Every structure is written in structure tokens, then in C-alpha cells.
């Protein structure tokens, strides 16, 4: 009986050890992910609007020694930022919500910007992800794509002296008009959350998220 029981016992022990090892690995991996996420400031990047995200990327590349040319909000020929260093890089910045993916139109636009600004490289940088079509076109056009995971890794490698939180809290979001009354929307604070509120409050009580797309 013991001869039958002993192999079963060892097999059971091996299974338990294997499952505990997998569980420990998942815990360690999750802790590492959370640490890297906090170091990158990604939660604050997710709260930014497009203008704040551009300022953040500008500061990031300045630390790498690049001189920055911020393009006009309209008529930018497909680039939000032009980075001048050892090489000239045009960047289109896409601050999206997690549910939205960057489409191939961003790749088309920054590829055209590369020619217009006579740049060596063209990048699309996002805190979200890219569609399959965008990835395929980027590969064909030699456009560099930095998705959420790539951006987080890039930030942690640069280890910027500033924090994403500083950009989010100190750079004013792009001005907006109230869709209800036409007055300016201003940044307000409430319950630890920043949001746009109508400047004509209390006659108009319209509010919006800062990172509304």
C-alpha cells in the first residue's frame, strides 16, 4: 500500500510546489509592473489632455539634449513636435483613453511631416495602443511607433528629473469653449479631481473631463 501511496504523494507535492511557484511569480511580476507604472507616471499621463501630453514629451526629449520646435495647433503638416539633435525627429503625440486605439491616419500624417520638415525619423507616441493597420503601415513606411508599454519603458530609461504629475498640475490644458453657453471653460478642482467648468457658473453648470476626446 505504501508503495502505491508514495508516488502519488510525491506527485501531489510537486503539483503543489509548482502552483505555489506560479502564484509567487505572478505576485512578483505584478509588483514589478506597479512599481514601473508608478515610476513612469503613466496614471497622470492618462489624465492629461493633448496639450499637456505634448509638453510632457517636449520636456522628456529636452532632457535627452534635443532642441524642441512646437508646431502650430493648426497647419502643423502632421507633426506636433519637431526634435532637433543628432537626428531630426518629427513626432505626432496621441493622448488617448485606453479604449481608443491610434489608427493608420496618424502614421500617414507623420510620414508626410517627415518629408515636409526634412526629418530623419518619424514617430507616433501614445499612451494607448495602435490598430493592426497602423502597425502594418508604419512597418512599410519606416515610422516608429511607441505604444503604452514602449512609452512606459522609454520614460523609465530616461528617468526624467521632472514628474508627469508636475506637468499635469502646472501646465494649463488647451482652452475650450462651453458647448452650452459659449463662454470659456476653466480648470477647477473638486474632491481631488481637476476638471473643466464653465466660467459663467452658476448660471451655467456645464463640466467636462480634462482629457475628454
* pLDDT reported for residue 188: 76
DSSP 3-state assignment of 22? helix
* pLDDT reported for residue 191: 66
* pLDDT reported for residue 192: 62
Question: Using CA atoms, how far apart are residues 34 and 82, in angstroms rounded to an integer?
Answer: 32
* pLDDT reported for residue 38: 46
Residue 186 neighbours by CB under 8 Å, 6+ apart: 196, 197, 198, 199
Question: Using CA atoms, how far apart are residues 137 and 122, in angstroms rounded to an integer?
Answer: 13
C-alpha distance from residue 156 to each of 57, 58, 67, 164, 195 (Å): 13, 16, 21, 12, 28
DSSP 3-state assignment of 187? strand
Question: Which runs of consecutive H residues, i.e. helices, occur in the chain?
Answer: 2-40, 42-45, 50-63, 104-116, 132-141, 148-158, 164-170
* pLDDT reported for residue 213: 54
Question: Using CA atoms, how far apart are residues 186 and 158, in angstroms rounded to an integer?
Answer: 33
Give 10-residue mean pLDDT values along the chain (213 residues). Answer: 64 74 60 51 89 91 89 77 93 89 96 95 96 97 96 91 87 79 74 73 78 59
User: Taking a C-beta distance cutoff of 8 angstroms, is the pair 50, 174 a contact?
Assistant: yes
Amino acid at each position: 500500500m505504501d508503495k502505491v501511496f508514495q508516488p502519488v504523494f510525491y506527485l501531489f507535492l510537486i503539483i503543489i510546489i509548482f502552483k505555489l511557484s506560479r502564484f509567487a511569480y505572478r505576485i512578483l511580476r505584478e509588483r514589478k509592473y506597479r512599481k514601473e507604472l508608478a515610476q513612469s507616471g503613466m496614471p497622470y499621463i492618462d489624465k492629461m489632455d493633448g496639450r499637456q501630453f505634448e509638453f510632457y514629451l517636449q520636456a522628456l526629449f529636452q532632457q535627452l539634449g534635443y532642441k524642441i520646435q512646437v508646431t502650430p495647433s493648426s497647419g502643423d503638416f502632421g507633426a506636433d513636435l519637431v526634435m532637433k539633435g543628432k537626428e531630426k525627429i518629427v513626432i505626432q503625440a496621441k493622448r488617448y483613453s485606453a479604449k481608443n486605439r491610434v489608427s493608420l491616419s496618424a502614421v500617414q500624417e507623420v510620414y508626410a511631416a517627415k518629408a515636409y520638415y526634412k526629418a530623419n525619423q518619424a514617430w507616433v507616441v501614445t499612451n494607448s495602443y495602435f490598430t493592426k493597420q497602423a502597425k502594418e503601415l508604419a512597418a512599410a513606411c519606416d515610422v516608429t511607433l511607441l505604444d503604452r508599454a514602449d512609452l512606459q519603458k522609454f520614460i523609465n530609461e530616461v528617468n526624467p528629473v521632472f514628474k508627469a504629475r508636475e506637468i499635469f498640475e502646472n501646465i494649463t490644458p488647451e482652452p475650450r469653449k462651453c458647448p452650452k453657453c459659449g463662454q470659456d471653460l476653466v480648470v477647477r478642482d473638486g474632491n481631488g479631481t481637476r476638471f473643466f467648468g464653465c466660467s459663467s457658473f452658476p448660471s451655467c453648470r456645464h463640466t467636462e473631463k480634462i482629457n475628454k476626446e
